[in-house]
Amino acid sequence: MPSTTDHASELLTAAAVRDRCGIVFSAAERGETAYFRLVPEQLEEAVRRVEDVTRRRYPGLDVPYHSRWRHFSAGGVDRAAQVAPGAAPAEAARARIDLAVVSVLLDAGAGPRWHFHEAETGQILSRSEGLAVASLRAMQTGLFSANPTDPWRADAEALSRLTAEGLARAFQHRPGNELLGVEARAALLCRVGEVCAPDRARFGAPARPGNLFDYWSARGGEVSAPEILRILLTALGPIWPGRVNVGDVPLGDCGHHSAVPGDGLVPFHKLSQWLAYSLAEPLEVAGLRVTDIDGLTGLAEYRNGGLFIDCGVIEPRDPTLLRRPLDAQSEPVVEWRALTVVLLGRLASRLRERLGKTPKNFPLARALEGGTWAAGREIACERRPDGAPPLTIVSDGTLF
């Protein structure tokens, strides 16, 4: 019988996401799920849409990984090149890891009213792109640094004393331009600082997420994507508020579904996997080799999941489900997310066939970028004037 700690450790993996979502998917294939049914013949419509979007966005099919770094280039501006200008390669890597961690953790739904006006370019950006650029500009001003002479960092000292008011100012939150969950977002970053500070083995001294570069560098010239995720989940697990625990181990982004025998737990680790994808690039630029990128899974979020509902691959058993607010931890949302994870893998396989690609040169991370997320946003805009997802999820700004 595995110990509580061993059981928790198993759930803090991409393999557990794949396996547990697969259990829910199998139940749906048997017609045993309570909230959604599968319409497998509609998957071709989703594949067609993703292929079309991918060819339009990347005509040469030179698709990069799906990561936060794409959003930093909103409006055709290479903002990644503006991070830590003149820094040595190792320090540039630390700064980019700091930025990725902060920015990804802030990347939950901004709300339909919010936008960010970037003074440097005059661009007005909303949703994920706006959150990305706002976080980069906040870092540039030193919001996340305890050292006034070194703004391009996010250290534990500054993060642990971050206030909702300070974050609100940096993100231009005000009446008429409300950013959802400002308080929850600031509290999440505070907890990052509190968790990093005592963990010198991984986060160094003075502690900062960017010191993970040194942690992985010291262990050889390569690191696997599932190992990146494992470290993120174990090291940063305590930052997640009010989520599921096994014993005293927090599981983060994890829900319950009645189709799963035993504990009923279904992990997703959406933001953490998004962060793992987003750390691959700065690590590779700094000279580390990131292996097994397909060891991660698709991201169970509302653009990917919305694509499958809007294309008719996932169909609610009760149409009123699409018209009422749903708690992010409720079983209907867990069911939808689990089906999304498995469908993303199946879609990626069919997409590769259409594009003449292989799993090695076109892993899931490229299908997501090409891709599923953009197609989900596009069809949402076609179906609903505000481009909202088909399900209304009640969010605290730290999950969706």
Q: What is the spatial distance between Cα 292 and Cα 360, in angstroms, rounded to a whole number? A: 10
Q: In angstroms, rounded to a whole number, what is the distance separating the alpha carbons of residues 59 and 38?
A: 32
How far from 272 is each of 173, 233, 331, 366, 383, CA to CA, in Å? 25, 7, 21, 18, 30
- CB count within 10 Å of CB 325 equals 9
The helices-and-strands tally (H runs, E runs) of the chain is 17, 12
The string of pLDDT tens digits covering residues 345-394 is 999 999 999 999 999 999 999 999 999 999 999 999 999 998 889 999 88
CA distance 374 to 57: 9
**Three-class SS state of 170:** helix
Q: What is the mean pLDDT of residues 18-45?
A: 98
Contact 251, 12 (CB under 8 A): yes
Per the CB < 8 A criterion, the answer to whether 222 and 287 are in contact is no
Q: What H or E segment, with its residue span, contains residue 226?
A: helix 225-236
> What percentage of the chain reaches a pLDDT higher than 70?
98
Phi, psi (deg, nearest 5) at residue 109: -50, 130
What is the distance between the alpha carbons of residues 379 and 400, in angstroms, rounded to a whole number? 18
Three-state DSSP at 254 gives: strand
Which range is least confidently modeled, 268-272, 337-341, 352-356?
268-272
For residues 164 and 183, the answer to whether their CB atoms sit within 8 Å is yes
pLDDT band at 80, cuts 50/70/90?
very high
Contact status, residue 18 vs residue 269, Cβ threshold 8 Å: no
Q: Quote the tokens at residue 284.
A: 């590779």
Q: Which of 103, 94, 104 is nearest to 210 (CA)?
A: 94
Mean pLDDT of 60-69: 95
pLDDT digits (tens, 9 = 90+) for 47-64: 999 999 999 999 999 999
Amino acid present at 400: F
Peptide bond into 206 cis (omega under 30): yes
What's the full length of the chain, in residues?
A: 400
Threshold 0.85, pTM exceeds: yes
- Give per-residue pLDDT as tens, 171-186: 999 999 999 989 999 9
